[in-house]
Structure 1
Amino acid sequence: MAQVQSSTLTLQPAAGAASFALGFPAQVPSLGNLESYISAVHRMPMLSAEEERKLALAWREKEDRDAAGKLVLSHLRVVVSVARHYLGYGLPHADLIQEGNIGLMKAVRRFDPAQGVRLVSYALHWIKAEIHEYILRNWRLVKVATTKAQRKLFFNLRSMKQGFDNFHEAEIESVAAALNVKRADVVEMEQRMGGGDVSLQPLGDDGEEVYGPMAYLSDRSHEPDAVLEARSREHLQVHGLEEALESLDARSRRIVESRWLAVNDDGSGGKTLHDLAAEYGVSAERIRQIEVQAMKKMRQALASYA
């Protein structure tokens, strides 16, 4: 929202919005909240047609910033009124007013009193245009309207949907005819507008952790700690495992490799305890004991290597 300070009035628009500042002597005190701002702008005196014409000429011919500032101040109430009609989009009222003020200031820059119209009539287009742009940028993470026709359909369709939830076939045909668009465009825009927002990082009501899309949308594979961890694990699996196997005697190494590192022709795992028992002429229990001791020794070797 516009922030009125002791010396200047400066707009601080949302990121990406074109703006400029008009500095002029302040006529209202410093304000701390939206209610105070709205109350203050409604107390500002309105200009007569002759006063408005003189101020507009002073700005156009002499670039008198005080005159431009008075034109802006006297029409801030118009922005508040227009912004109130767009509260149904779920965006902050203060932000809507802020963007509308940008449109008002653009209108003051371009206003020509010689055209025979009042500033309020000329500024309405600029105020609504800036608010529309802000809504389209922020109403959804994915833009719902990109072409001029889609933007027109977006705002008209939303106002026409206020009386009912979903369109019936006859209503779709009626809207398409009234807005001079294809039936398929109406259906698509209604579906896109009806899509609910999903929180990327939801929180449980009782404070418990709840997994949302962020849990599986984020890719940690390229983060520095993940890269270092992957490299360390790969190095341990290749070089560390080789050193651990070299710490074993020949029989223990063959038993471990046959049991856990070998793959049969059919894709199944290595040899069983009984297979190795028959090969070495001992019991399966003895093979298991050798395997346990070998694994223990390998773990100690891997710990030292790590």
Structure 2
Amino acid sequence: MTNEMQALAIAPLGNLDAYIRAANGCPMLSAEEEKALAERLHYQSDLDAAKKLILSHLRFVVHVARNYSGYGLPQADLIQEGNIGLMKAVRRFNPEVGVRLVSFAVHWIKAEIHEYVLRNWRIVKVATTKAQRKLFFNLRKTKQRLGWFNQDEVEMVARELGVSSKDVREMESRMSAQDMAFDLTSDDDNAEGKSLVPALYLQDKTSDFADGIEEDNWDSHAADKLTDAMMTLDERSQNIIRARWLDDDNKITLQELADQYGVSAERVRQLEKNAMKKLRVAIEA
């Protein structure tokens, strides 16, 4: 990975798709590689090891940030805040604890994103379109003269502004609404409506996030390794492996392959065995 791609991956500036491609292009670490790097950082303060740990986990930050896309905040900002949490986690990670870094880091990543959402998110979006903004500013001027509208006044304002009565009522309601508290205050612990506080339902606490994301990314990583390993085989060996192991819909027998290539079934078996050995070596490399 180039220095430019590394810089892009750490700070998602500019094209978000390019950033995500760069993050996904960072190689994942095996448990042994991760532990070795973590020990170098923990015991020797090796900054190069810290950089490798961070880059290999940027894809996890992207995955977490996507779960907060419903709050109308820029995805790049959510990812950047998550990256700050990842860096804090890497700095505090103890390789002797016996857990993978992703299981430890996910809590720091979420904490930074939660703090960003808390600072920037407002539940009531007063005017999000050009038409709504125009109605908002015109309605605000009219309300300064009339106060809270009755039905006749709603219809009069609707005629003046060229909108429906429903639009006027909806915008009036938005303008009069108060922000809902994002998090509980010290006085709210026993409040009757505490279940409505957004901070309490930002995430699904019933799922094991770390295990799920590790499994999803490992499957993707394994598929990529297999594809690269297959490219090391000659065309005939590739066809044999696909026909015998990878084609779920049309698996064929050794004899059918033997007839196809004009050799004995035993020769096909030997080719298959040799190809499998080469694949294992290539995947484990």
| TM-score of the superposed pair, with normalisation by structure 1 | 0.41
> Which structure has more helix as a fraction of its residues?
2
Larger Rg over CA atoms = 1
TM-score (norm 2): 0.44
